[in-house]
């Protein structure tokens, strides 16, 4: 069988071409006439920024032409996150600014929730409306019944406002839906989470082990760049993935694992490394706690045992374990990032952390370095009021080890129960499309139905904006200041984001929204600056810089306080764990009643005729935030469902045919999705890219394009340790015709 | 002087940043592109191989598009870069038909457009836009006649191929394999 | 399984998914060019051979159509241009390697000649025609005097035009289907055949009709030979050309090509013309129109099929 690019594009024109024909060419950077000329950087102005298209926060420059129009964005070469090179989404960030579907003015709902019928309102009116709503909740239920969901830079200001108001219910989906289990597992092991950007020393590694983590499609810039450096230097890459990922195609070893069995593989590797004495003896002896228990624990986890579970051959398990050991300590068993897969994720990540400890890679060149950031003093403000209750009170005794709030937990805490005296009554949702971000969409909708106030701050009309009582249009990151970026890296840096243009339409930055809302809530003492520039300049002056300097250079490199990027030879290191050691045997987990060492437990498998739904990233999109971006939809305007040829044959499916997916609970995808028959996926699974299948008609390019994985994720496998929402325990089957749908009554 | 590009298929991840960067740098209208990315996968699960290539005009040494152009709009610039002078182009599409790589398209304004190797940047000593953004640094650009240029050096150490050599066009975009 | 995808969503209009930079304009232009060439060729030929009066349709009447045909053809070419305001750029340079260029220049020569030719015969159409100005009359006298020389020029330039209409395609190596030297003679033959067909329609005398029927029959024979030869050439060639030929031997263009071009446009008219020669009464318009139709279809199918063929890499 053969699919040629001709065939491929031939079919896809039927749809894409259709779109191209109905919507005339967008001259996205000029009004009407095409601007023929190439850019002349010498005639352009540039403004520093850091990218908001994902959370790697690359620093760069926004270029404007002589007329002041934004033309392009490029990396800042002094920035360690980008090294002067943006990823496609960052480069295509201009499309966020030029997207003509943007939210343009505040909206107040007139129709039913979710109905997207709004009237336009002035900022005054909208903010007054919100302040009244918040005060009502404060009076009737207490300020701690307000919650903030935020994913993005502006959240800092809104969070400050909410804490001043008296609530600490502030969560990002990047924890319980993303990297939470990893943070908890590494904290339990090393007394320190992994953090973002991950301090993986990929550029100097000799062996990179990727478990799922699909770098190259997961376009987190620094890692992609460093993986390429590693390839140049001849590093061995080992990729464990049921799908032939881009990274797998660059790997010396691709282990096409059966999904949901990674812990078995990790334990078998641990077994080999311990019993064949491949571990870093000095390191293990000096720094770790519980080696003997671990040795005993993995005794029976042999490669032969794992073979039956993972379908990875024992000799491959041994060979790859040896590759890691040979590279040790310049080896990285990558902790991944989106790790909320099967509900036992903290334990899986514990196995990853343990493996790294045995290989001695934590704190070593080519392994994990010790990152350093800068702590900027906070702008003077009164102390926050004491908080009486939080979302955690809804889950007594649970998720104690979660060090950040759970977005899913806050959502659940919104649904009233008999034994809860106050459920959350008001949400402010900033820069997160909760409807497609949290699994179990129905649950999210139930929570929303119990709200008294839902405020959504976004740049685009999204699924979530449809449910809002008030929608506030934030201007894009190219049109605003934000807090300084201070994230940790090999050396500390500060990066500035400043506007390259006035906000388009009637949109406003979050710092302004938070301050205005604060004023209306009587919290003006917390916002004692007239303009954000005042705050930034004050902060910068505290560390010997100034806004003026930063406007010129964009990124300021600072020196490390100590030369402790890696452990010194024989250095005594005190780890922030109960034992002060790297805990192979976790006393913390044991204390909370969990297995101190990871075990393998089998997960349910798809029934006959069903296939495990796995999902991931496409390099040119970030979840749903880019789904309508004109520049990026030009590269990819829908997702496809990857199906193994054997499966396709059984189902008589053809390439590029549109089908509907139905999950184990009978949920059928709203939109059809195009079939991609490919050998790159196992026969027991199907794969799709997350972020498509938008139901909001106001997204002219994204509406109805592709299908949403989120709506098919109705089975959530909760991580008992920290409340992460495992999302890969869902199975789908294929419908070749649109099913008759029951009227949804609301 | 002979400008050329070498692209490392072992490092390219197919992210298409080169395509977006070209679009913003050269005002390529949405819906059009001067460069594109091809993925070729062979085998049966789990015995698979994949090559990813970023493609564009090859700035052929023996380029049929220049030969067949009735007005001279398509021409060689110093260093062998093939470009189209917009004001000389009548939009007859002959060059489009003549290119074995389908590297050209008609701009909505009527003239024919394609990759220029970012001549406007190269003239100022900068790298082409696509080369300068590529996150994997898998693209190398420079003067093949200069043994110390990035391209010359990488091509000395690596195996390479060109696309459709049998078309006789003598392409100057090389793929490291 | 092999999977080859463009993953960056490339969709350049008229390039993807299948090259279609040349729509109906170019094949029509080539057909009309070939037709004009065919008519002028026969007019010149029989004038040189001194048979003007014997074959008036060929030498006098049919050429009246040529300026119209050429203008329509040039109109089609003009419509094909996307940067129309710059049309004049064609005539600021001559580029010998570009068939487009010398096609434009050939037309620059052929078109005025065809006008002169009509002018010389204008009194056939308008018996009371008067050139009014003395210098026009002198000019007429001049051309009448050198009519044979003019005929030679016309013979040469119309042949060039005819060949050009074929070579335009075969100059494009990039399209494997066009990448054959047979296309030049095939299109020339097709143009001559179309020219002959027009003459047959216009001829009033049986003798003239008979002559051109014979000529047409012969040309059709040559065309069929060339077509078979062309495909045999492809079959013995590279994978790329095999794939290209497959378009017409089992692929998407098979039925239209063999039915419209070969059967309806060549074999049926050939049979009818043969019967005509054998003194059966056949309304001449039928085979002649079929030939014209076939000739037009040939251009269209080769134009579209060629654009669907490409190098594989
Ligand atoms: N372009 C782009 N890049 C992004 C993002 C984006 O939206 N777009 N988002 C960023 C964010 S926030 C995150 S969290 C990261 C996420 O990126 P990663 O941390 O890399 O996410 P994963 O879930 O590990 O990656 C999905 C891969 O896991 C494989 N997989 C599925 N099931 C299993 C299994 O059971 N076992 C194993 N071993 N593999 C499995 C899939 O086949 C797929 O290749 O990406 C970041 N980078
Ligand atoms: N099914 C499924 N669910 C997932 C994942 C998955 O792979 N599959 N991935 C999980 C992971 S790893 C993560 S990190 C989360 C991410 O979850 P989210 O961060 O919720 O992801 P997005 O869908 O990009 O939603 C971002 C929202 O922010 C808006 N936005 C963009 N820029 C701005 C801005 O400047 N200001 C404001 N106010 N709004 C802005 C966008 O329009 C969009 O509505 O999703 C998680 N959920
Ligand atoms: S990785 Fe890409 S999208 Fe994310 S911040 Fe950097 S440039 Fe922006
Ligand atoms: S930017 Fe670089 S890595 Fe990305 S597709 Fe282009 S060449 Fe490949
Ligand atoms: S690739 Fe095509 S357009 Fe570029 S020089 Fe070669 S023939 Fe001309
Ligand atoms: S379209 Fe323009 S560049 Fe191409 S051959 Fe015609 S005149 Fe030359
Ligand atoms: S060299 Fe310049 S014009 Fe050519 S593809 Fe790269 S960015 Fe585009
Ligand atoms: Mo994430």
pLDDT over 90 percentage in chain C: 66
Task: Measure the CA–CA gap between C175 and C166, rounded to whole angstroms.
Answer: 14
Helix axes A303-310, A262-275, angle to 10 degrees: 170
What is the tens place of the pLDDT at every residue in A259-318?
999 999 999 999 999 999 999 999 999 999 999 999 999 999 999 999 999 999 999 999
Judgement on whether residues A243 and A341 belong to the same structural domain of the protein = yes
A28, pLDDT greater than 70: no
Pocket of ligand 4 (CB under 6 A): B 12-18, 37, 54, 134, 136, 138-139
Q: How far apart are the first and last CA of chain B?
A: 25
CA A449 to chain centre: 26
Mean pLDDT (whole number) for A125-132? 97
Q: Which positions in chain B touch A26 (Cβ < 8 Å)?
A: 29-31
Report the range out of A7-16, A91-100, C51-60 with the highest average pLDDT: A91-100
Confidence of residue A17 (pLDDT cuts 50, 70, 90): very low
**Domain range summary for chain B, segments of one domain joined by +:** 3-176
C29, pLDDT greater than 50: yes
Q: How far apart are the first and last CA of chain A?
A: 48
Question: In the prediction, which pLDDT does A13 show?
Answer: 40
* E-state strands within B3-35: 3-8
Judgement on whether residues A78 and A111 belong to the same structural domain of the protein = no
List the domains of chain C with CATH numbers.
25-308 (1.20.1630.10)
Range of the domain at A61: 1-98+475-508+528-558
Chain C residues with CB under 8 Å of a chain A CB are 1-11, 13, 16-18, 310
Cβ–ligand 6 contact at B110 (below 6 Å): no
CA C289 to chain centre: 15
SS3 C80: helix
Judgement on whether residues A515 and A638 belong to the same structural domain of the protein = no
State the residue for tokens 């949901």: A260
CB A153 within 8 A of CB A496: no
Minimal CA–CA distance to B88: which of C26, C98, C91, A33? Answer: C91
Question: What are the helix (H) ranges across A40-172?
Answer: 88-91, 94-98, 123-141, 155-165
Task: Measure the CA–CA gap between A174 and A150, rounded to whole angstroms.
Answer: 9
A35, pLDDT greater than 90: no
SS3 C152: helix
Judgement on whether residues A277 and A128 belong to the same structural domain of the protein = no
Atom from ligand 7 closest to the CA of residue B131? 6
Task: Measure the CA–CA gap between B162 and B165, rounded to whole angstroms.
Answer: 6
Over chain A, what is the mean pLDDT? Answer: 93
Phi, psi at residue A479, to the nearest 5°? -120, 20
For atom 45 of ligand 2, the residue with the nearest CA is A437
Mean pLDDT (whole number) for C273-300? 90
CB C114 within 8 A of CB C40: yes
Q: Does residue A582 form part of some domain?
A: no
Task: Indicate the number of domains in chain A.
Answer: 4
Structure token pair of residue C135: 């210098």
Minimal CA–CA distance to A479: which of A447, A506, A461? Answer: A506
Task: Measure the CA–CA gap between A639 and C214, rounded to whole angstroms.
Answer: 62
Q: DSSP of A381-428, one letter per residue?
A: -PPPPPP---GGGGSTTSSTT--S--HHHHHHTTS--TT-S----EEE
Question: In the prediction, which pLDDT does A112 show?
Answer: 76
Phi, psi at residue A153, to the nearest 5°? -60, -40
B154, pLDDT greater than 80: yes
CA A503 to each of CA A95, A120, B27: distance values in angstroms, whole numbers, following the listed order: 14, 18, 23
Interchain CB distance below 8 Å, B136 and A88: no
Q: Does residue A397 form part of some domain?
A: no
CB B69 within 8 A of CB B94: yes
B68-81 burial by CB neighbour count: b if 16+ within 10 A, else e? Answer: bbbbbbbbeeebbb
State the residue for tokens 């922030």: A576
- Which of B29, B83, B104, B129 maximizes ligand 7 atoms within 8 Å of its Cβ, making it the mutation to test the pocket? B129
Question: In the prediction, which pLDDT does C166 show?
Answer: 82
Judgement on whether residues A220 and A351 belong to the same structural domain of the protein = yes
Please report which ligand is nearest the Cα atom of B129: 7
Helix (H), strand (E), coil (C) string for A499-525: CCCCCCCCCECHHHHHHHHHHHCCCHH
Mean pLDDT (whole number) for A5-27? 43
Question: In the prediction, which pLDDT does A436 show?
Answer: 94
Measure in Å the smallest separation between the Cα of C89 and chain A Cα atoms: 20
Q: What is the DSSP letter of A145?
A: G
Judgement on whether residues A193 and A254 belong to the same structural domain of the protein = yes
| Range from A637-651, A721-735, C66-80, C273-287 carrying the lowest mean pLDDT | C273-287
Structure token pair of residue A356: 């790294």
Mean pLDDT (whole number) for A110-136? 91
Cβ-proximal residues to A711 (8 Å cutoff; 6+ apart), any chain: A436, A441, A667, A669, A670, A693
What is the tens place of the pLDDT at every residue in A134-162?
999 999 999 999 999 999 999 999 999 99
- Look up the CATH number of the domain holding residue A257: 3.40.228.10
Question: In the prediction, which pLDDT does A743 show?
Answer: 59
Please count the residues of chain B: 177
Question: In the prediction, which pLDDT does A19 show?
Answer: 40
Question: In the prediction, which pLDDT does A37 show?
Answer: 66
A31, pLDDT greater than 60: no
CA A483 to each of CA A50, A159, A480, C239: distance values in angstroms, whole numbers, following the listed order: 10, 12, 10, 61
Cβ–ligand 5 contact at B114 (below 6 Å): yes
- Which of A50, A55, A58 maximizes ligand 3 atoms within 8 Å of its Cβ, making it the mutation to test the pocket? A58
What is the tens place of the pLDDT at every residue in A317-360?
999 999 999 999 999 999 999 999 999 999 999 999 999 999 99
Question: What are the helix (H) ranges across chain B?
Answer: 17-25, 64-67, 94-98, 119-122, 129-133, 150-157
- Look up the CATH number of the domain holding residue A456: 3.40.50.740
Interchain CB distance below 8 Å, B46 and A244: yes
Minimal CA–CA distance to A154: which of A521, A510, A497, A499? Answer: A510
What is the tens place of the pLDDT at every residue in B46-79?
999 999 999 999 999 999 999 999 999 999 999 9
A41, pLDDT greater than 80: no
SS3 A599: coil
State the residue for tokens 């990871």: A598
Question: In the prediction, which pLDDT does A741 show?
Answer: 77
Confidence of residue A744 (pLDDT cuts 50, 70, 90): low
C107, pLDDT greater than 80: yes
pLDDT over 90 percentage in chain A: 89
Atom from ligand 5 closest to the CA of residue B171? 6
Please report which ligand is nearest the Cα atom of B113: 6
- Which of B59, B76, B96, B172 maximizes ligand 5 atoms within 8 Å of its Cβ, making it the mutation to test the pocket? B59
Contacting B residues, span 3-62, partner chain C, CB-CB under 8 Å: 14, 16, 19, 31-33, 35-44, 52
Judgement on whether residues A108 and A236 belong to the same structural domain of the protein = no
Interchain CB distance below 8 Å, A246 and B52: yes
pTM of the model: 0.94
A5, pLDDT greater than 70: no
In this structure, the number of other CB atoms found within 10 A of the CB of residue B145 comes to 13
Q: Does residue A575 form part of some domain?
A: no
For atom 7 of ligand 6, the residue with the nearest CA is B89
Confidence of residue C239 (pLDDT cuts 50, 70, 90): confident
A1, pLDDT greater than 60: no
Question: In the prediction, which pLDDT does A746 show?
Answer: 44
Report whether the peptide linkage leading into residue B102 is cis, meaning its omega lies within 30 degrees of zero: no
Judgement on whether residues A415 and A489 belong to the same structural domain of the protein = no
CA A670 to each of CA A96, A271, A663, A709, A739: distance values in angstroms, whole numbers, following the listed order: 26, 46, 12, 10, 10
In this structure, the number of other CB atoms found within 10 A of the CB of residue C38 comes to 29
Residue of C nearest to A14 (CA): C17
Structure token pair of residue A19: 């779109």
| Range from A353-357, A485-489, A736-740 carrying the lowest mean pLDDT | A736-740
Cβ–ligand 6 contact at B92 (below 6 Å): yes
Cβ–ligand 7 contact at B52 (below 6 Å): no
Task: Measure the CA–CA gap between A430 and A137, rounded to whole angstroms.
Answer: 19
Calculate how far, in angstroms, residue A174's C-alpha sits from the geometric centre of ligand 8.
Answer: 5
What is the tens place of the pLDDT at every residue in A572-622?
999 999 999 999 999 999 999 999 999 999 999 999 999 999 999 999 999
Question: In the prediction, which pLDDT does A591 show?
Answer: 95
Q: Does residue A572 form part of some domain?
A: no
Q: Which positions in chain A touch B19 (Cβ < 8 Å)?
A: 88, 635
Please report which ligand is nearest the Cα atom of A617: 1
- Look up the CATH number of the domain holding residue A674: 2.40.40.20
Question: In the prediction, which pLDDT does C277 show?
Answer: 85
Interchain CB distance below 8 Å, B13 and A246: yes
Interchain CB distance below 8 Å, B110 and C16: no
- Which CATH class name applies to B3-176? alpha beta
Calculate how far, in angstroms, residue B7's C-alpha sits from the geometric centre of ligand 4.
Answer: 9
Judgement on whether residues A140 and A267 belong to the same structural domain of the protein = no
């Amino acid at each position: 069988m053969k699919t040629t690019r001709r065939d491929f594009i031939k079919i896809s024109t039927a749809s894409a071409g259709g779109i191209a024909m109905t919507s005339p060419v967008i001259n996205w950077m000029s009004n009407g006439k095409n601007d023929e000329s190439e850019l002349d950087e010498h005639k352009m102005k540039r403004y520093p920024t850091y990218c908001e298209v994902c959370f790697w926060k690359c620093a760069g420059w926004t270029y404007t032409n002589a007329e002041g129009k934004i033309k392009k964005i490029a990396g800042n070469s002094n920035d360690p996150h980008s090294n002067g090179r943006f990823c496609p989404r960052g480069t295509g960030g201009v499309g966020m600014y030029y997207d003509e579907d943007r939210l343009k003015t505040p909206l107040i709902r007139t129709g039913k929730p979710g109905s997207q019928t709004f009237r336009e309102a002035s900022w005054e009116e909208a903010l007054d409306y919100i302040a009244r709503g918040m005060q009502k909740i404060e009076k009737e239920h207490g300020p701690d019944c307000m919650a903030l969901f935020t994913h993005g830079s502006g959240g800092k200001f809104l969070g400050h406002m909410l804490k001043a108001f008296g609530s600490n219910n502030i969560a990002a989906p990047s924890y319980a839906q993303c990297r939470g289990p990893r943070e908890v597992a590494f904290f339990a092991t090393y007394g320190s989470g992994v953090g973002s950007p991950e301090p993986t020393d990929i550029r100097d590694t000799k062996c990179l082990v990727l478990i799922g983590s699909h770098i190259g499609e997961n376009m987190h810039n620094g890692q992609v760049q460093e993986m390429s450096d590693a390839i140049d230097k001849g590093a061995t890459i080992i990729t464990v993935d049921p799908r032939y990922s881009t990274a797998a195609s660059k790997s010396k070893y691709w282990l096409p694992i059966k999904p949901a069995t990674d812990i078995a593989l990790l334990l078998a590797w641990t077994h080999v490394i311990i019993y064949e004495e491949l571990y870093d003896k000095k390191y293990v002896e000096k720094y770790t706690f519980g080696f003997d228990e671990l040795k005993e624990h993995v005794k029976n986890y042999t490669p032969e045992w794992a073979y039956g579970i993972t379908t990875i051959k024992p000799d491959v398990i041994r060979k790859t374990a040896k590759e890691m050991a040979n590279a040790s300590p310049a080896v990285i068993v990558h902790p991944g990032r989106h790790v909320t897969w099967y509900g036992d994720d903290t334990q899986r990540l514990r196995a990853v952390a343990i493996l790294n400890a045995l290989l001695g890679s934590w704190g070593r060149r080519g392994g994990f370095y010790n990152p350093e950031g800068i702590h900027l003093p906070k702008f003077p403000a009164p102390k926050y009021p004491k908080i009486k209750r939080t979302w955690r009170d809804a889950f007594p005794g649970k998720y104690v080890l979660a060090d950040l709030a759970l977005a899913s937990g806050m959502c659940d805490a919104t649904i009233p129960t008999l034994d809860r005296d106050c459920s959350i009554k008001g949400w402010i949702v900033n820069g997160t499309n909760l409807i497609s971000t949290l699994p179990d969409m129905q649950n999210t909708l139930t929570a929303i139905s119990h709200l008294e106030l839902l405020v959504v701050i976004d740049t685009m009309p999204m699924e979530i904006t449809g449910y809002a009582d008030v929608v506030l249009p934030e201007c894009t990151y190219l049109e605003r200041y934000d807090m300084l970026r201070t994230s940790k890296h090999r050396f500390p840096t500060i990066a500035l984001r400043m506007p390259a243009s006035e906000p388009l339409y009637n949109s406003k930055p979050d710092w302004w929204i938070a301050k205005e809302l604060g004023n209306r809530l009587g919290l003006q003492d917390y916002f004692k600056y007239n303009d954000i520039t005042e705050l930034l300049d004050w902060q910068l002056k505290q560390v010997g810089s100034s806004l003026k300097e930063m406007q010129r250079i964009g990124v300021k490199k600072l020196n490390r306080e100590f030369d402790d990027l890696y452990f010194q030879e024989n250095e005594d290191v005190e780890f922030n764990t109960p034992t002060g050691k790297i805990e192979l045997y976790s006393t913390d987990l044991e204390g909370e009643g969990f297995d101190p060492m990871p075990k393998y437990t089998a997960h349910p498998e798809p029934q006959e005729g069903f296939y495990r739904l796995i999902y991931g990233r496409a390099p040119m999109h970030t979840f749903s935030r880019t789904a309508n971006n004109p520049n990026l939809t030009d590269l990819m305007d829908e997702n496809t469902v990857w199906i193994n040829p054997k499966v396709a044959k059984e189902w008589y499916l053809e390439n590029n045919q549109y089908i509907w997916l139905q999950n184990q609970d009978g949920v059928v995808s709203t939109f059809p999705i195009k079939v991609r028959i490919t050998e790159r996926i196992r026969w027991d699974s199907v794969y799709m890219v997350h972020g498509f299948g938008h139901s909001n008609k106001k997204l002219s390019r994204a509406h109805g394009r592709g299908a949403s994985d989120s709506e098919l994720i109705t089975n959530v496998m909760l991580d008992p340790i920290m409340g992460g929402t495992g999302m890969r325990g869902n199975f789908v089957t294929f419908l070749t015709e649109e099913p008759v749908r029951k009227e949804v009554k609301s | 002087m002979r400008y050329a590009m070498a692209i490392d298929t072992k490092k390219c991840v197919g992210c298409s940043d080169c395509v977006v960067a070209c679009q913003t740098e050269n005002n390529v209208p949405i819906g059009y592109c001067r460069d594109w990315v091809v993925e070729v996968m062979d085998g049966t699960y789990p015995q698979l191989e994949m090559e990813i290539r970023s493609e564009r005009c090859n700035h052929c040494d023996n380029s049929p598009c220049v030969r067949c152009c009735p007005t001279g709009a398509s021409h060689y610039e110093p260093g062998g870069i093939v470009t189209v002078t917009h004001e000389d182009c009548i939009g007859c599409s002959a060059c489009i038909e003549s290119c074995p790589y389908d590297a050209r398209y008609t701009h909505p304004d009527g003239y024919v457009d394609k990759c220029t190797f970012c001549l406007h940047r190269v003239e100022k000593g900068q790298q082409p836009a696509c080369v300068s953004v590529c996150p994997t640094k898998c693209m190398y650009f420079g003067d093949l006649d200069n043994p110390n240029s990035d391209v010359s050096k990488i091509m000395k150490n690596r195996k390479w191929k060109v696309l459709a050599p049998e078309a006789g066009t003598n392409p100057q975009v090389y793929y490291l394999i | 399984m092999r999977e080859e995808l463009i993953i960056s969503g490339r969709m350049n209009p008229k390039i993807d998914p299948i090259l279609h930079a040349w729509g109906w304009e170019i094949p029509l232009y080539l057909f009309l060019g070939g037709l004009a060439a065919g008519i002028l060729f026969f007019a010149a030929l029989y004038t040189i051979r001194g048979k003007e009066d014997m074959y008036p349709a060929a030498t006098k009447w049919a050429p009246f159509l040529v300026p119209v045909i050429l203008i329509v053809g040039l109109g089609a070419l003009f419509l094909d241009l996307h940067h129309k305001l710059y049309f004049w750029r064609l005539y600021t340079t001559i580029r010998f390697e570009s068939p487009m260029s010398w096609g434009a220049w050939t037309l620059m020569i052929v078109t005025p000649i065809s006008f002169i030719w009509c002018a010389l015969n204008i009194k056939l159409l308008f018996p009371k025609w008067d050139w009014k100005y003395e210098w026009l009359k002198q000019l007429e006298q001049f051309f009448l005097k050198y009519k044979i020389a003019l005929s030679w020029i016309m013979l040469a330039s119309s042949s060039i035009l005819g060949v050009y209409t074929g070579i335009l395609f075969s100059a494009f190596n990039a399209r494997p289907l066009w990448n054959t030297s047979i296309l030049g003679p095939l299109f020339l033959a097709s143009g001559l055949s179309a020219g002959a067909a027009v003459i047959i329609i216009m001829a009033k005398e049986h003798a003239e009709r008979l002559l051109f029927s014979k000529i047409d029959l012969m040309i059709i024979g040559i065309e069929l030979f060339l077509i078979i030869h062309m495909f045999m050439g492809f079959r013995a060639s590279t994978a790329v050309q095999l794939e290209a030929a497959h378009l017409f031997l089992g692929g998407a263009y098979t039925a239209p090509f063999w039915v419209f071009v070969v059967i309806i446009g060549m074999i049926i008219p050939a049979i009818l013309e043969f019967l005509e020669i054998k003194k059966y009464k056949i309304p001449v318009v039928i085979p002649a129109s079929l030939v014209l139709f076939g000739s037009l279809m040939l251009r269209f199918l080769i134009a579209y099929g060629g654009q669907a063929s490409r190098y594989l890499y």
